[in-house]
Chains A and B, each alone.
Chain A
């Protein structure tokens, strides 16, 4: 792969909290990440992490209310691709989400926490800030220091 020192300015997308926007969000992130030369396999991981974050916002922060707003801000600099995702839904306590236990889900016929586990596995850093009554934000970071 050629080295690419191109920098994108911040790119921003604001969408309503609806699951039919997930593919639009993925395309937006894919396009911006490809533009700065991030390898396709890493982009795939990034878009899955962003999808999981936005799905959690739609289902949990906005509880499927379709008129909420999700802001996605992308930035690439110093070999770091960061995605800041902001919502104004119910406050979120990431520490209340345990790591998934498939055996337990098997017995309970339900599933949860998989998305957050995937985000943590696929990204180098996942940082939550929740200001109750104001906003939640999650910052996803992928370091691209390794030569591909």
Chain B
């Protein structure tokens, strides 16, 4: 059976979800739970790190669609980072770059959240 796991790191106001393995219709509920747990804790500034994600199908892509509006309604965002070319191509094929900000590195995504916060506090 395909292995998939997530881990979550708190980095100040931002949470980072690390994806590992194979994200398909069988493993997508694991990622749904991870998002639900963060939203239950009212953590809405979310960076997803794709570095160790080997595979994604549309069932995995659907998870991001399921949570994005709720997160943005709460002045947060889901920012994507560190995708392999292979995974990016699938997101790109389906037009996701129009709806999500995708960064080369996790740090760039975190910095973007901090910049927004700074502007809000001015």
Contact = CB atoms under 8 A, between A and B. Distances in A.
A29 B86 CA distance: 18
A106 B69 contact: yes
Given A20-B1, A100-B94, A55 B86 contact: no
Contacts of B98: 102
B59 A55 contact: yes
A114 B26 contact: no
Nearest to B62: A111
Interface string B68-87: 11000000000000000010
Nearest to B24: A22
Nearest to B86: A44
Interface in B11-62: 22, 24-26, 55, 57-59, 61-62
A93 to B, nearest CB: 19
B24 A19 contact: yes
Interface stretch (A1-9, A70-78, A115-123, A135-143): A115-123
A44 B93 CA distance: 14
A82 B90 CA distance: 22
A52 B57 contact: yes
A7 B69 CA distance: 49
A144 interface: no
A87 interface: no
A48 B1 CA distance: 16
A105 interface: yes
Nearest to A121: B93
Nearest to B2: A23
Contacts of B69: 106-107, 109
A58 interface: yes
Contact of B99 (A20, A44, A106, A114): A106
B72 to A, nearest CB: 9
Contacts of A26: 2, 55
B66 A117 contact: no
A4 to B, nearest CB: 23
A19 B62 contact: no
A126 B88 CA distance: 23
Interface in B95-116: 95-96, 98-99
Give 3 nearest A-B pairs by CB, closest first.
A23-B2, A19-B26, A114-B58
A55 B43 CA distance: 31
A102 B57 contact: no
Interface string A12-26: 000000011011101
A41 B86 CA distance: 8
